[in-house]
Chains A and B, each alone.
Chain A
Amino acid sequence: MSLLVLGLSHHTAPVTVRERFALTEARVPATLAQLREAGLADEAVILSTCNRVELYCATSLEPARAFPGLVEFLRKLNDFQEPLTTEFYQLSEPHSLEHLFKVACGLDSMVLGETEVLGQLKQAYDLALQHKHTGGRLNKAFQRAFNVAKQIRTETNIQRGATSVAAVAVELAEKIFNSLDERQVMVIGAGDTSEKAARALLSRGAQSILVSNRSYDRAEALATELGGRAIHFDNWASEFKRIDIVISSTSAPHYVLDRARLAPLMELRGNAPLLLIDIAVPRDIDPEVQFLDNVYLYNVDDLQAIAENYLQQRKDELAKCEGIIREKAAALLGARRPPAATPGRRPALGHQ
C-alpha cells in the first residue's frame, strides 16, 4: 500500500477552478466514505483550504490506475465538466510523502513558511481520524509530518521574521524596547494598516492605545475596538509625554510632525526612546526627525523592504528544509531512494 497525493493548489489552478473543487468541512466525512467505498483508497484524508484541495490516499492500487479514478471521482463529486490540463498534480512515493511534509512546513504555501496551513492540516487529519478513515499508513505519515514541521521550525529560519507591515512594526519595537509590556501606543489617523499594527503591538503586550483622528467618531470607534482611548486630533501632542510608539497614517498633504515640533516634546519625555512608524503616503513625519537623539523613524518603504528581506531569507532556507524533508521521508519509507524516479505529473511551481 502506498501513499498517493492528488490535488490542485494556488501554484497550479486559478481561484475559479479551486473554488469549484473546494469542500466544506461538513461534506468531508461523507466524501471520504464514498472514496473508500469506490475502492479508490483504503485510507484517506482531504485537505481543503482557500489555496488548495488535496486528497491524501493510502491505496493498494497502482498509481497509474488510481490517479485517473481519483480525478474522475472529484470531477463527478463537484460536477466539473470543463477540460483540465495541468491543474491537478499527481504524486506517488516518495514525492507524495515529501509533499505532505512540505505542506505541513508551509513550504508549499503562498507566504513561504507560514504556519496557518499546519493547523488546517491537523484539522483535516483529525476529521478523518474521528470518522475512522485513516489507518496505520496515513497515521504514521501525518504524525511524522507534524514532527518534521516542528523540527523545521526549530532548526531553520524558514518561519523566522515578519512578512507583513504590521508584524515588522512589532519586530522593530522589540529591537528598541526591552519589552513591549507597559508601552503606550498612539495611533494618529485610523487607517486599516495602522489598526493592524496597533493590534499586533497589543497582542505582544503593549499597555494601551490612544487613537487620534480628524473624525473623532472614527477615532472613538477604533479606540473602542482596541480597548483604548480616543483623543481629539488637535490635542494629540498634549498626550505625547507618555507615548513610546507612534503609528501615523493620516491623509494630510503635509507633515503632521516635524523636527521643530518634536524636539520640545522629546524633552518633555525625558529623551526616552521613541519609535515612529509612518505608513502614510504622502508621509506624515518629516524624515529630519530621525536626526534627533533617541528617535527612530520608519516609513512604509522601510517596513516593506524589511518584510521582503525576510521573505528572501526564508527562500534561502528552502534548500536546507528540503534536505531535512527528503531525509525524513526516506527514513519513513524504510530506504533512502534517490528522488529522481517519480511517476506521474508534478506541479509546475513551488514544489521543486
Chain B
Amino acid sequence: MHLSDRNYFVVAVVFYGLSTLYAVFLQRRGFRTDDRINYLLLLGGAAFHTLAMMERGFNLQRCPINNLYEAITFLLWTIVCSYLAIGIWSRLRFLGAFASPILLGIGVVALMPSLDPPLAAHPNFTGVWPSLHAALILLGYGAFGLSAIAAAMYLRQERNLKFNKREVVFSLMPPIQRLEQTMTRLLGAGFVLLTAGLLVGALWLKSTHGYYFSSDAKVLWSGLVWLLGCGLLVSRWRFAQRGRRFALGAIGMFVFVLLTFWGSNLLSVIHNPDPQAKTESRR
C-alpha cells in the first residue's frame, strides 16, 4: 500500500502521540522508569516523518521547505532527529519525555489543511541559496526548540530539588547542572545556525534585489528573534543570569517563535513575492 507524504506524517504524529502518553506515564512515575520505550516510539515516529519528507522532496525534486506545512515538518524533523542523536547518551534520553508533547502539538497544527496549499508544488524559491537559508534558519529554530525542552526539564528538576526533596533522588533525571549546560549549548548552537541562515539570506537578497536588508516583516521579525537569542546569551555569559531565569528565557523565546512564525510569514512580502501567481494557480 502506497501512502502519500501527508499520510506518512499522520502516522508519525500518531507515534508522537503514543510517546506523549508514555511521557505522561513516566512523569507520573516520577521519572523512575527507564525511557527506552519512549526513545523507540520517537524513533518510529522519526522514521515515518523522514519517509514523509522524502516522499514530498522526491515529488518536488527539491528540498521540501516551500510552505508553512513543510517548514513546520522540517522544524519538527530537526527536533526529533537531534533528540535521537542526543538520546543515544542515556543520561539525556529523558529529553524525549519533554520533546514528545511539543512534537505532537506542533505536528497536529501542521496538519491543518490551510498550512499546506496546493501551491507547494509551485515553490516561490528554488536554488541552493534560498534552500540553504531556510534550512539553516529552521535548524536553528529546531535547536531553540530542543533548548526549550531542556529548559523545561531544568525547571522540573529545579522544582523537585527545592520543593519535592524526598522524591528527587529517585528520579532518573540528569543533574541540574548538566541540564543547564545542555540548554545553554543548544541555544548557542541555534543562535549560530540562525545567524548563518540570516547571513545567507542577506547575501541572496543582495544578489537578487541589490540590497542586504529590507524592512520586510519577516526580516524584522527574524532580526528580533536574533536579538532575543543574543540578549539571552549575553545575559548568561556576561551577567551570570543562569539557571531558572535563563530557562524561562529559552522557553519564552521558543514560544514566541512558535506563536509568531505563521503571522510574520503571512505579512512578509519577500517571502510571498508573487501573490498574482498564487491567484492564478488557484484558478
Interface residues of B (CB under 8 A from A): 157, 161-162, 165-171, 173, 175-178, 180-181, 240-245
Contact = CB atoms under 8 A, between A and B. Distances in A.
Interface of A: 161-162, 168, 171-172, 174-178, 267, 270-273, 290, 293-294, 296, 298, 302, 305-306, 309-310, 313
What 6 pairs across the A-B complex have the smallest Cβ distances?
A270-B240, A302-B165, A294-B243, A305-B166, A271-B240, A178-B177
B161 A309 contact: no
Given A273-B180, A296-B161, 15 more contacts: A175-B157, A175-B161, A175-B168, A175-B171, A175-B176, A176-B161, A176-B177, A177-B175, A271-B242, A273-B176, A273-B243, A293-B245, A294-B243, A302-B165, A306-B166
A293 B243 contact: yes
A306 to B, nearest CB: 6
Nearest to B165: A302
A231 to B, nearest CB: 25
A309 B166 contact: yes
A261 B283 CA distance: 72
B243 A271 contact: yes
A20 B141 CA distance: 74
A290 B162 contact: yes
Given A161-B169, A302-B166, A309-B170, A176 B175 contact: yes
25 contacts: A161-B169, A161-B170, A172-B168, A172-B169, A175-B161, A175-B168, A175-B169, A175-B171, A175-B173, A176-B161, A177-B175, A178-B177, A271-B241, A273-B177, A273-B180, A293-B243, A294-B242, A294-B244, A296-B161, A298-B165, A302-B165, A305-B165, A306-B169, A309-B170, A310-B169
A178 B179 CA distance: 9
Given A161-B169, A271-B240, A177 B245 contact: no
A54 B167 CA distance: 38
Contacts of B161: 175-176, 296
A176 B244 contact: no
Nearest to B157: A175
Contacts of A171: 169
Contacts of A310: 169
B178 A178 contact: yes
A299 to B, nearest CB: 9
A177 B177 contact: yes
Contacts of A273: 176-177, 180, 243
Contacts of B178: 178
A309 to B, nearest CB: 6
A216 B169 CA distance: 35
Contacts of A177: 175, 177
